[in-house]
């Protein structure tokens, strides 16, 4: 019987984001008879670490004392290379572009190793909205280094299309698509836990979840909810933390929504809040995939999402298992929310259909797709040396 492929998975840290949650679910569900997983992180203490299966070794490449995430990645180059050589790894699989760049630099010149990079967002959109110099630097290094990856893994067709427009033909020929692991069985269990803040659910309730950053467009959601509140008695719960908390609090006060909108911060178990909601809303300007949509659907909640690039339209079929609205159109979103609040039959239909369609994103089946891709990519004729 063939020995399992030693695979080092690399991310900046195991916490707080959709890419990291995808990786957590992959690691916990991957077939140990075919893959021997090792997790390497640039910074210890990620919020998902405690949920990592106990049989998976985790290696900290830095002590985490460096304040800059970029500095931590730079400091991880040599330790990651040493780890790859010491463990005689067959595969290095990284997630998120800065980590991908770090992994490709770390493994330069190492023979007989498969380099797999996972792209979790549409780069042309993601890096146009960040610090201009940083964004240009990431895109430049992606174009230079991604051709040396044995496989570039996009988590949606939308991300793949963006990469085809950015990368060279040499890089694009190694492009594959595997959707994120949208849920595992733990979500079902966690969704049934009791909620302490039951007073938040005394009226029809809308839940949203994500980092409080520009990408998630919570300011736009608040404008839409303000219109909803003028027509219906309802509340909005937003789970998450981020740099826009203060500005969102100011906006909530300005819109006189202090008693109707609740920023309850990061929660280790967001699923019980999703399950108890009447509607789940994703208001993003862009996504790579949209894990939270699959999670809410798994919890049996009707979902509404902006039809942003990319991911939501690959999860939701409009009016069949969820509803799609134009990006940054608060009037349209408000109208859809009111319509769904009023139509309990439609809510129930979307909730049931969404729960059924979410099954194709089960972590176990997605992990099997990763294993098949790893084994195919690591066949001798596919391995290249950077």
Structure tokens at 42: 């640039």
Q: How far is CA 343 from CA 17, 227, 249, 307, 348, in A?
A: 33, 18, 31, 22, 9
Q: Which two tokens stand for residue 378?
A: 């690591």
CATH 3.40.50.2000 domain residues, the chain: 5-181+362-382, 185-361
CATH topology of domain 5-181+362-382: Rossmann fold (3.40.50)
In this predicted structure, what is the pLDDT of residue 386? Answer: 47
Give me the pLDDT at residue 17, please: 84
Measured between alpha carbons, how far is 160 from 121 in angstroms, rounded to an integer? Answer: 9
pTM to 2 decimals? 0.90
Per-residue pLDDT of the chain (386 residues; tens, 9 = 90+): 678 999 999 999 998 788 999 999 999 999 999 999 999 999 999 999 999 999 999 999 999 888 899 999 999 999 999 999 999 999 999 999 999 999 999 999 999 999 999 999 888 888 886 577 888 899 999 999 999 999 999 999 999 999 999 999 999 999 999 999 998 988 999 999 999 988 899 999 999 999 999 999 999 999 999 999 999 999 999 999 999 999 999 999 999 999 999 999 999 899 999 999 999 999 999 998 999 999 999 999 999 999 998 889 999 999 999 999 999 999 999 999 999 999 999 999 999 999 999 999 999 999 999 999 999 998 754 454 44
Matching CATH number, 185-361, of 3.20.20.150, 3.40.50.10860, 3.20.190.10, 3.40.50.2000: 3.40.50.2000
CB 125 within 8 A of CB 162: yes
Residue 184 phi, psi (nearest 5): -130, 180
> Are 52 and 27 contacting, i.e. CB atoms less than 8 angstroms apart?
yes
* Helix H or strand E encompassing 276: helix 271-276
What is the per-residue pLDDT for 242?
A: 93
Would you say the C-alpha torsion 265, 305, 180, 11 has a positive or negative sign? negative
* Residues 99, 105: Cα–Cα separation, whole Å: 10
């Amino acid at each position: 019987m063939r020995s399992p492929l030693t695979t080092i998975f690399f991310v900046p840290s195991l916490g707080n984001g959709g890419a990291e949650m995808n990786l957590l679910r992959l690691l916990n569900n991957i077939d140990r008879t075919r893959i021997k997983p090792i997790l390497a992180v640039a910074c210890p203490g990620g919020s998902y670490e405690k949920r990592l299966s106990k049989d998976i070794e985790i290696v900290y490449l830095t002590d985490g004392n460096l304040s800059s995430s970029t500095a931590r990645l730079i400091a991880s180059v040599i330790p990651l290379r040493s780890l790859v050589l010491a463990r005689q790894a067959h595969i290095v699989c990284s997630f998120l572009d800065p980590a991908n760049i770090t992994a490709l630099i770390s493994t330069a010149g190492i023979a007989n190793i498969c380099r797999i990079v996972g792209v979790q967002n549409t780069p042309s959109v993601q890096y146009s909205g960040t610090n201009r110099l940083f964004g240009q630097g990431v895109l430049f290094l992606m174009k230079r280094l991604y051709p040396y990856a044995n496989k570039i893994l996009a988590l949606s067709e939308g991300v793949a299309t963006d990469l085809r427009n950015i990368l060279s033909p040499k890089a694009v020929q190694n492009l594959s698509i595997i959707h994120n692991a949208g849920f595992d069985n733990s979500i079902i269990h966690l969704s049934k836990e009791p909620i302490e803040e039951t007073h938040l659910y005394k009226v029809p309730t809308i839940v949203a979840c994500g980092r409080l950053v520009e990408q998630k467009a919570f300011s736009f959601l608040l404008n839409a909810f303000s219109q909803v509140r003028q027509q219906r008695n309802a509340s909005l719960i937003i789970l998450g933390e981020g740099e826009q908390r203060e500005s969102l609090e100011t906006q909530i006060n300005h819109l006189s929504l202090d008693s109707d909108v609740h920023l309850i911060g990061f929660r280790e178990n967001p699923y019980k809040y999703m399950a108890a909601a009447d509607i789940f809303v994703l208001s993003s300007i862009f996504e790579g995939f949209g894990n939270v949509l699959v999670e809410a659907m798994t919890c049996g909640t009707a979902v509404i999402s902006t039809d942003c690039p990319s991911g939501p339209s690959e999860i939701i079929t409009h009016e069949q298992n969820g509803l799609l609205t134009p990006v940054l159109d608060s009037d349209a979103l408000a109208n859809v929310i009111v319509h769904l609040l009023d139509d309990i039959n439609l809510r129930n239909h979307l909730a049931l259909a969404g729960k059924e369609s979410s099954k194709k994103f089960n972590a176990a089946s997605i992990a099997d797709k990763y294993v098949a891709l790893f084994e195919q990519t690591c066949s001798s004729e596919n391995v290249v040396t950077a």
